[in-house]
Homo-oligomer: A and B are copies of this chain.
Amino acid sequence: MLDLKTIRELVEPNTTRIVMLVMDGLGGLPMTAGGLTELETAKTPNMDALAAQSLTGLITHVAPGLTPGSGPGHLALFGYNPLTYQIGRGVLEALGIGFPMGPNDVASRCNFCSLDANGLLTDRRAGRIPTEVGTKLVQKLRAIKLPGVEVFVEPGEGYRFVVVLRGEGLSDEVTESDPQRLGVPPLTMGAAADAKDPAAAKRTAGLLNQFVAEARKVLANDHPANGNLMRGFAKLPDMPMFPDVFGLKAAAIAVYPMYKGLAKLVGMQVLDGAHSGEEEMALLEKAYKDYDFFFVHIKWTDSAGEDGDFARKVGVIEDVDKLLPRILALNPDVLVVTGDHSTPALLKSHSWHPVPMMLYSKHCRYDANAEFSERGCARGALGVMPATNIMPLALANAMRLAKYGA
């Protein structure tokens, strides 16, 4: 298997530019047997014209049959095997709310919960309190101090929030406090049985238990949100940076914090300020001369899929098709159009179905498929391939990879 070290050794400088346009949750399914998918239904003359000159195929991000989360889906597009490089839940949650994780941070997904007079769990989600209430309670929790570490408490949606401990020698190998059932007290956290650094894990668990104890005091009169549960402890993964591995000065253009965070995680520079596809195009046009690689993320395909709104997803795809000429006008040496996973409106969730992908370049040796769709790309010359192949292929087509061996 090709590893990032081998790629790094082959990377050559060039002045060529690569644009990767990612429609989140792009892949879909027909609503009725024999029908068309969202992408097949959408009128996409610009994408189809590009497909006619592109190498096409379907991509799997983790492995056939596996449904990628947003983290693994994007890591694979960025060239990282998501089975090798794993992003913990706490980190993903922190990225999702735009918290700038540092190398000494341990992040945790937290819930407000309801406890009875005996400290037994009666509701794991604190009656699903609204975001405004959760945000106010988070402000109260910010009073909590712990010895030797900084504590960050950040609000999320509804009953969810994020706690980050920052300090030297912390570990994320800590057991969770959520017992996943009612009528019992939250669990005391401890070092994970297989912790590589048991002392650090024990110390971190102690700090977290102290946080929970303090939180009960602070929240004593806030029933139904009079307690909290902590899980998904995670530090930043130890991974090589995208600009170093691929020799590309890389920029990310996204609207939502999660995707900016994922790009930042691999060392891309985030270009802020866009709130729509049009504004994302404006950022791309403005910065085009300043970077070698652009990751452009379109969120609304996935949102529509998650909502089960087939027609809206079709509409989003058609809107993106209308933006495509603005990218083509920049004349990128390599243009990749694809998604990070499927989100069929039929399933209202991410799915395992491979995702259409096209790679355009002057030298791509395009195939006979001239339709950017699930069925069209299934006939493409790339077949069904791992998404991690995209970056080496993009570099090759950008004339940025030296010959392997003599």
- A274 interface residue per 8 A CB criterion: no
Of A62, A92, A397, most buried by chain B (CB within 10 Å of CB) is A62
Name the CB-closest residue of B to A384.
B383
A53 touches B33 (CB 8 A): yes
Contacts of A66 in B (CB 8 A): 2, 10, 392, 396, 401, 404
Name the CB-closest residue of B to A93.
B406
- A283 interface residue per 8 A CB criterion: no
- A71 interface residue per 8 A CB criterion: yes
Closest CB of chain B to A118's CB: distance in Å? 33
Q: How many copies does the complex hold?
A: 2
- A156 interface residue per 8 A CB criterion: no
If A374-B365, A383-B383 touch, does A65 touch B393 (CB 8 Å cutoff)? yes
B403 touches A68 (CB 8 A): yes
If A65-B389, A383-B383, A385-B384 touch, does A405 touch B374 (CB 8 Å cutoff)? no
Closest CB of chain B to A234's CB: distance in Å? 10
- A163 interface residue per 8 A CB criterion: no
- Which segment, of A296-304, A305-313, A344-352, faces chain B? A344-352
B68 touches A392 (CB 8 A): no
If A69-B405, A381-B58, A403-B69 touch, does A392 touch B64 (CB 8 Å cutoff)? yes
- A367 interface residue per 8 A CB criterion: yes
B374 touches A346 (CB 8 A): no
Contacts of A64 in B (CB 8 A): 385, 389, 392-393
- A86 interface residue per 8 A CB criterion: yes
B405 touches A350 (CB 8 A): no
Closest CB of chain B to A256's CB: distance in Å? 14
Contacts of A396 in B (CB 8 A): 65-67, 351-352
Closest CB of chain B to A11's CB: distance in Å? 11
Closest CB of chain B to A60's CB: distance in Å? 9
Q: A66-B401, A69-B406, A71-B406 are in contact. List 18 more A-B contacts (CB 8 A).
A: A2-B62, A2-B63, A2-B83, A29-B363, A64-B385, A64-B389, A65-B392, A65-B395, A65-B397, A67-B401, A67-B402, A68-B404, A69-B404, A72-B404, A82-B404, A92-B405, A349-B403, A350-B403
Interchain Cβ contacts under 8 Å between A and B, 12 examples: A29-B365, A64-B392, A65-B392, A68-B403, A68-B404, A69-B404, A70-B405, A89-B406, A93-B406, A344-B363, A378-B381, A383-B384
